[in-house]
Structures are given as C-alpha cells and as structure tokens.
Amino acid sequence: MKKKNKLDFDRTYVWMTIPLVVLFFLFNTFPLIKGFMYSFTNFRGYGTYQSVGLRNYMDLFTDARVGHSYLFTFGVAICVTVLVNVISLILAMGLNSKIKFKSGLRALYFVPNILGALVVGYIFNYFFTYILPAFEKMVFGSGSSILASEKWAWVAIVVVCVWQSVAMQTIIYISGLQTVPEDIYEAGAIDGSTGWTRFKTLTLPLILPFVTINLVLTMKNALMVFDQIMALTKGGPAQSTESISYLIYNNGMSGGQFGFQSANAVLFFIVIVLISVFQLKFMGKKEEQL
C-alpha cells in the first residue's frame, strides 16, 4: 500500500515536471541550438544560406566594431560591479542597524528593482536630456546632455545600471548580515574590536559567501547590459556606447548579420561562463583561507 502511494506521489511530480521541461526546451534550449547552428552559416535572417565553417568565429577577432563593444562592455561591467557592491554593502549595514522605520526604508530602497529596466531608462533619459542640462546651464551658463557626448555617455549608462541593481544586492547583503551571530560581536568588543577593525576581521569574513554571490550576479548582469542602452543612447553617439548584447541584437536582427552575430552570441556566452567560473573559484579560495 505504501509502495503504491509513493508511486502515485512520484507520478504526480513527473506530470508536473514534463510540461515545464517541454516549455524550457522549446523556448530556451531549442533556440540556443538553432543559434549555434546558424553561427556556422552566412544566414542574414531571411532567405537562403550556406555553411561557412569557422569563418564567422575567425572574423570576430578582426572586427574593430566587435572589439570596441567588448572593451566598452567590460569597462561598464567593472565599474557597475564595484559601485553596486560598495554602495549595497554600506546601505545593507545601515539598514541592518538599530534604526527607526527600518522595514519601511528597506521597502523603499527595493522599489528600483520592481520597475522595468526600460521604464527606468526612459525616465533617466528625460533627466539627462532636459533636467540636468537645464540645471547645468543655470549654474555654468552652458548646458548639453551627456547622452550626446562620446566621452561621457557611458557614465549615464553606469548611473542607471547602478541605481537599478543596488536594490537586490542590498537585500542579499542584509540577509548575509543577519546570519552573523550577535555573540561574535560581543566577543569581539571584549577584545577591543570596533569600527573598521570589527568589519574587517568579523563581519566581512562571515558574509564572504554573500559577497561571492553578489559579485557573480552583478558582473553577469552588467555584462549583459542592453535595456539601459536601448532606452538611453541606442548605442550612440557614433557607436561609442554599443555593448555586446546591443550589437548582437542590432546587427543580427536588422543588419543582415544573423549568422555572424550568432557566432558573437556563442562566444559571448562562453566568455560569461568563464568569468563566472573564475569568480566562483577565486572567491571560493578566499573563503577557505578565512
């Protein structure tokens, strides 16, 4: 009787899982396989196509526009990762301390994460295009939008990415800080550990697994920056803010380079996996040392 009940129980889970596996294959795995196959062709997104072997992959390493998009994306990703984690950790420590309206403030700081990236991008687009130049003109006498500057447009993208990413990373850091036992701090206080010393010797080592999670997630999300560029600059001015994701979308969908950009997407996927594995290995060794 027990065996029968267990069998029915397992069968229920099987029937619940099958539709999800089918949907995952249809909308995730199958397009991935098709994209990988197209990366070996000269497919333009329509019409007939022929196999070109590894030519697309070799051309990626000599294409100046692809090279610039990788440099731009890595630069933005490093800036965003550092800023997001520093600001999130400071905010988390403040919101985890004994202050009034702590729950309300946590909810308020989480609002940016609820809003869609495109919505946030268009709001900041208005701010950078009209409000900030008007303020600059009032103070300095001349004002122009940084979105129109090849030199400074990337700063606007970093600001928007950081503003939106800080919310989730702060929540993760708060979760980590709440796992630190209070008696650890009491023992540290007896040894004279306060302020920066307490953070460096007690807090940081104990929340290091949460630091690892945040570093990996922030870097991965920043490398895939797309919505913010679509809303703010559309890769301009003069292709100066063209990220890899935006280049893949723009030239792959409307530029007649579907096969070439499919190869770019495959390469980019491998790069993200390698960076994530490196981060996990490196931070894992740091956790073992501590």
Sign of CA dihedral 8, 26, 73, 134: negative
Please state the domain count of the chain: 1
State the residue range of the domain holding 76: 57-288
Residue 71 confidence (pLDDT) = 96
Q: What is the pLDDT of residues 231-273, one digit of tens each?
A: 999 998 988 999 999 999 999 988 889 999 999 999 999 999 9
Q: Is 120 helix (H, G, I), strand (E, B) or coil?
A: helix
Residue 200's pLDDT is what? 83
Residue 44 lies in a domain: no
Give residue 290's pLDDT: 61
For the chain, how long is the longest CA-to-CA vector? 85
C-alpha–C-alpha distance, residues 272 and 218, integer Å? 12
SS3 readout for 196-219:
HHHHHHHHHHHCHHHHHHHHHHHH
Which pLDDT score is estimated for 5? 60
Q: Rounded to an integer, what distance in angstroms lies between the CA atom of residue 146 and that of residue 234?
A: 14
d(CA 256, CA 65): 15
pTM of the full structure: 0.87
Cis, bond preceding 237 (omega within 30 deg of 0): yes
In a domain, 142, yes or no: yes
The sign one gets for the Cα dihedral 209, 214, 215, 217 is positive
2 domain residue, yes or no: no
Beta carbons within 10 angstroms of residue 280's beta carbon: 14
* Cα dihedral 167, 169, 175, 181 sign: negative
235 located within any domain: yes
Residue of 212, 242, 268 lying closest to 76 (CA atoms): 242
Q: Do 192 and 110 meet the contact criterion of CB atoms below 8 Å apart?
A: no
166: in domain = yes
Angle at alpha carbon of residue 28, lines to 253 and 284, rounded to 5°? 110
- State residue 3's pLDDT score: 54
154 in any annotated domain: yes
CATH number for the domain that contains residue 176:
1.10.3720.10
Residue 286's pLDDT is what? 74
Q: Do residues 136 and 128 touch, judged by C-beta distance below 8 A?
A: no
DSSP, residue by residue, 184-195? HHHHHHHTT--H
10-residue averages of pLDDT along the chain (290 residues): 59 86 93 93 90 94 94 96 95 86 79 84 92 85 84 94 91 91 82 81 88 93 93 90 94 90 95 92 75
**Is residue 185 a part of any domain in this protein?**
yes
pLDDT of residue 101: 78
